[in-house]
Amino acid sequence: MSNSPINTDNSAHTVAVLAVQGAFLEHRLMLEKLGARVIELRQARDLEQSFDRLVLPGGESTVQAKLLREQNMLEPLRERISGGMPVLGTCAGLILLAKNVEGNEVNGFGTLDVTVKRNAYGRQLGSFHCDANFGNLGAVPMTFIRAPYIAEVGSNAETLATVGGHVVAARQGNQIGTSFHPELDSDTRIHQLFLNL
Ligand code: GLN
Protein backbone atom coordinates (compact mmCIF):
# COMPACT_ATOMS: atom_id res chain seq x y z
CA MET A 1 0.00 0.00 0.00
CA SER A 2 1.41 3.36 -1.01
CA ASN A 3 1.94 5.94 1.68
CA SER A 4 2.13 8.89 -0.69
CA PRO A 5 -0.35 8.36 -3.48
CA ILE A 6 1.19 8.74 -6.89
CA ASN A 7 -0.86 9.68 -9.94
CA THR A 8 -3.53 11.28 -7.77
CA ASP A 9 -4.44 14.76 -8.91
CA ASN A 10 -5.99 16.64 -6.02
CA SER A 11 -5.62 20.09 -7.57
CA ALA A 12 -9.33 20.31 -8.37
CA HIS A 13 -10.22 20.23 -4.67
CA THR A 14 -10.50 23.26 -2.43
CA VAL A 15 -10.55 22.34 1.22
CA ALA A 16 -11.77 24.80 3.84
CA VAL A 17 -9.95 24.30 7.13
CA LEU A 18 -11.66 25.71 10.19
CA ALA A 19 -9.08 28.09 11.63
CA VAL A 20 -10.79 29.76 14.59
CA GLN A 21 -8.65 27.83 17.09
CA GLY A 22 -6.46 24.75 17.38
CA ALA A 23 -4.18 22.69 15.16
CA PHE A 24 -5.31 23.80 11.70
CA LEU A 25 -1.87 24.51 10.22
CA GLU A 26 -0.80 20.84 10.17
CA HIS A 27 -3.91 19.93 8.18
CA ARG A 28 -3.20 22.74 5.75
CA LEU A 29 0.38 21.55 5.20
CA MET A 30 -0.66 17.94 4.67
CA LEU A 31 -3.45 18.85 2.23
CA GLU A 32 -1.13 21.14 0.27
CA LYS A 33 1.47 18.39 0.16
CA LEU A 34 -1.22 16.27 -1.51
CA GLY A 35 -1.79 19.03 -4.04
CA ALA A 36 -5.14 20.34 -2.83
CA ARG A 37 -6.03 24.04 -2.57
CA VAL A 38 -6.66 25.15 1.01
CA ILE A 39 -8.52 28.12 2.44
CA GLU A 40 -8.96 29.00 6.11
CA LEU A 41 -12.29 29.80 7.75
CA ARG A 42 -12.17 32.43 10.50
CA GLN A 43 -15.31 34.46 9.96
CA ALA A 44 -18.59 34.34 8.06
CA ARG A 45 -17.29 36.21 5.01
CA ASP A 46 -14.70 33.46 4.46
CA LEU A 47 -17.66 31.21 3.58
CA GLU A 48 -18.22 33.26 0.42
CA GLN A 49 -15.18 31.62 -1.19
CA SER A 50 -15.80 28.44 -3.07
CA PHE A 51 -14.77 25.18 -1.41
CA ASP A 52 -15.90 21.60 -1.79
CA ARG A 53 -14.87 20.03 1.52
CA LEU A 54 -14.19 20.89 5.14
CA VAL A 55 -11.64 19.97 7.81
CA LEU A 56 -12.40 20.46 11.50
CA PRO A 57 -9.07 20.33 13.37
CA GLY A 58 -8.12 19.41 16.92
CA GLY A 59 -8.13 21.99 19.66
CA GLU A 60 -10.72 22.82 22.30
CA SER A 61 -14.16 21.81 21.09
CA THR A 62 -16.07 24.06 23.51
CA VAL A 63 -14.07 27.11 22.38
CA GLN A 64 -14.42 26.17 18.71
CA ALA A 65 -18.20 25.73 19.04
CA LYS A 66 -18.52 29.09 20.79
CA LEU A 67 -16.47 30.87 18.11
CA LEU A 68 -18.36 29.14 15.29
CA ARG A 69 -21.58 30.42 16.79
CA GLU A 70 -20.26 33.94 17.45
CA GLN A 71 -18.90 34.18 13.91
CA ASN A 72 -22.22 32.98 12.42
CA MET A 73 -20.55 30.01 10.77
CA LEU A 74 -22.21 27.17 12.66
CA GLU A 75 -25.55 27.07 10.84
CA PRO A 76 -24.27 27.64 7.28
CA LEU A 77 -21.62 24.94 7.72
CA ARG A 78 -24.11 22.56 9.36
CA GLU A 79 -26.37 22.96 6.33
CA ARG A 80 -23.55 22.13 3.95
CA ILE A 81 -22.47 19.10 5.99
CA SER A 82 -26.08 17.88 6.13
CA GLY A 83 -26.25 18.43 2.37
CA GLY A 84 -23.39 15.96 1.85
CA MET A 85 -20.25 18.10 1.69
CA PRO A 86 -17.31 15.86 2.69
CA VAL A 87 -15.95 16.66 6.16
CA LEU A 88 -13.02 15.34 8.19
CA GLY A 89 -13.17 16.06 11.91
CA THR A 90 -10.15 15.19 14.05
CA CYS A 91 -10.25 15.07 17.84
CA ALA A 92 -12.08 18.31 18.81
CA GLY A 93 -13.42 18.22 15.25
CA LEU A 94 -14.94 14.80 15.91
CA ILE A 95 -16.58 16.24 19.04
CA LEU A 96 -18.06 19.09 16.96
CA LEU A 97 -19.52 16.56 14.51
CA ALA A 98 -20.90 14.20 17.19
CA LYS A 99 -24.64 14.04 17.69
CA ASN A 100 -24.12 13.38 21.42
CA VAL A 101 -21.35 14.34 23.84
CA GLU A 102 -21.39 12.45 27.13
CA GLY A 103 -21.96 14.71 30.11
CA ASN A 104 -21.20 17.90 28.19
CA GLU A 105 -23.00 20.52 26.23
CA VAL A 106 -20.68 21.31 23.36
CA ASN A 107 -23.43 22.20 20.88
CA GLY A 108 -21.49 21.72 17.71
CA PHE A 109 -22.86 20.45 14.40
CA GLY A 110 -24.41 17.25 15.76
CA THR A 111 -24.49 15.66 12.31
CA LEU A 112 -22.54 12.43 12.95
CA ASP A 113 -24.56 9.70 14.64
CA VAL A 114 -22.14 8.87 17.46
CA THR A 115 -21.81 9.54 21.18
CA VAL A 116 -18.35 10.75 22.19
CA LYS A 117 -16.70 10.96 25.57
CA ARG A 118 -14.30 13.91 25.87
CA ASN A 119 -10.85 13.58 27.46
CA ALA A 120 -11.71 9.93 27.67
CA TYR A 121 -8.25 8.57 28.39
CA GLY A 122 -7.69 10.47 31.63
CA ARG A 123 -4.50 12.15 32.79
CA GLN A 124 -2.17 9.14 32.83
CA LEU A 125 -2.78 8.28 29.21
CA GLY A 126 -3.43 11.86 28.09
CA SER A 127 -1.31 11.48 24.97
CA PHE A 128 -0.14 8.33 23.22
CA HIS A 129 0.73 6.90 19.86
CA CYS A 130 -0.06 3.55 18.24
CA ASP A 131 -0.72 1.86 14.91
CA ALA A 132 -4.12 0.34 14.21
CA ASN A 133 -6.29 -0.68 11.29
CA PHE A 134 -8.41 2.03 9.71
CA GLY A 135 -11.24 1.03 7.38
CA ASN A 136 -9.68 -0.81 4.47
CA LEU A 137 -6.42 1.16 4.60
CA GLY A 138 -4.69 -1.36 6.86
CA ALA A 139 -2.65 -0.12 9.81
CA VAL A 140 -2.14 3.64 10.09
CA PRO A 141 -0.22 5.61 12.74
CA MET A 142 -2.45 7.27 15.31
CA THR A 143 -1.47 10.10 17.65
CA PHE A 144 -3.88 10.83 20.51
CA ILE A 145 -3.78 14.09 22.48
CA ARG A 146 -6.30 14.49 25.32
CA ALA A 147 -8.49 12.56 22.97
CA PRO A 148 -12.14 11.62 23.02
CA TYR A 149 -13.32 8.16 22.10
CA ILE A 150 -16.58 7.10 20.56
CA ALA A 151 -18.63 5.47 23.31
CA GLU A 152 -21.47 4.57 20.96
CA VAL A 153 -21.84 4.30 17.20
CA GLY A 154 -25.42 5.04 16.16
CA SER A 155 -27.28 3.08 13.50
CA ASN A 156 -26.53 5.68 10.80
CA ALA A 157 -22.77 5.54 11.32
CA GLU A 158 -20.14 2.81 10.93
CA THR A 159 -16.97 2.04 12.84
CA LEU A 160 -13.69 2.68 10.99
CA ALA A 161 -11.14 1.98 13.73
CA THR A 162 -10.91 0.53 17.22
CA VAL A 163 -8.04 0.85 19.72
CA GLY A 164 -7.99 -0.98 23.03
CA GLY A 165 -11.65 -1.89 22.75
CA HIS A 166 -12.76 1.69 22.06
CA VAL A 167 -13.98 3.06 18.76
CA VAL A 168 -11.64 5.85 17.63
CA ALA A 169 -12.97 6.59 14.13
CA ALA A 170 -16.37 6.49 12.50
CA ARG A 171 -17.98 7.41 9.24
CA GLN A 172 -21.46 8.41 8.13
CA GLY A 173 -21.74 9.08 4.40
CA ASN A 174 -19.23 11.83 3.63
CA GLN A 175 -18.47 12.57 7.29
CA ILE A 176 -15.36 11.04 8.84
CA GLY A 177 -14.48 11.62 12.48
CA THR A 178 -11.29 10.47 14.21
CA SER A 179 -10.26 10.64 17.88
CA PHE A 180 -6.65 10.92 16.82
CA HIS A 181 -4.62 13.37 14.71
CA PRO A 182 -3.74 11.97 11.26
CA GLU A 183 -2.24 15.39 10.37
CA LEU A 184 0.56 14.90 12.93
CA ASP A 185 2.03 11.80 11.29
CA SER A 186 3.59 11.62 7.85
CA ASP A 187 1.12 9.03 6.55
CA THR A 188 -1.21 10.84 4.17
CA ARG A 189 -3.69 8.05 3.44
CA ILE A 190 -6.53 9.30 5.63
CA HIS A 191 -6.34 12.77 4.06
CA GLN A 192 -6.26 11.16 0.63
CA LEU A 193 -9.29 9.05 1.50
CA PHE A 194 -11.04 12.27 2.53
CA LEU A 195 -10.04 13.96 -0.75
CA ASN A 196 -11.46 10.98 -2.64
CA LEU A 197 -14.93 11.33 -1.05
N1 GLN B 1 -9.78 17.65 24.76
C2 GLN B 1 -10.21 18.42 23.62
C3 GLN B 1 -11.71 18.69 23.66
O4 GLN B 1 -12.39 18.12 24.44
C5 GLN B 1 -9.84 17.72 22.35
C6 GLN B 1 -8.34 17.55 22.27
C7 GLN B 1 -7.76 17.70 20.88
O8 GLN B 1 -8.44 18.14 19.94
N9 GLN B 1 -6.50 17.39 20.77
O10 GLN B 1 -12.19 19.48 22.89
Choose the residue to mutate in 63, 67, 146, 180 for probing ligand 1, maximizing ligand atoms within 8 Å of C-beta.
146
Minimum CA distance residue for ligand 1 atom 8: 58
Q: Which of 13, 26, 27, 183 is catalytic?
A: 183
pLDDT over threshold 60, residue 4? no
Condensed to tens digits (0 to 9), the pLDDT of residues 23-48 reads 999 999 999 999 999 999 999 999 99
pLDDT over threshold 60, residue 1? no
Round to the nearest angstrom and report the end-to-end CA distance of the chain. Answer: 19
Cα-based torsion angle of the residue sequence 170, 174, 175, 180 in order, rounded to the nearest 10 degrees: 60
Which pLDDT score is estimated for 32?
98
What three-state secondary structure class fits 11? coil
Q: What mean pLDDT value characterizes the chain? A: 95
pLDDT over threshold 80, residue 170? yes
Confidence of residue 8 (pLDDT cuts 50, 70, 90): confident
Instruction: Specify whether 181 is catalytic.
Output: yes
Which pLDDT score is estimated for 125?
65
Choose the residue to mutate in 60, 94, 144 for probing ligand 1, maximizing ligand atoms within 8 Å of C-beta.
60
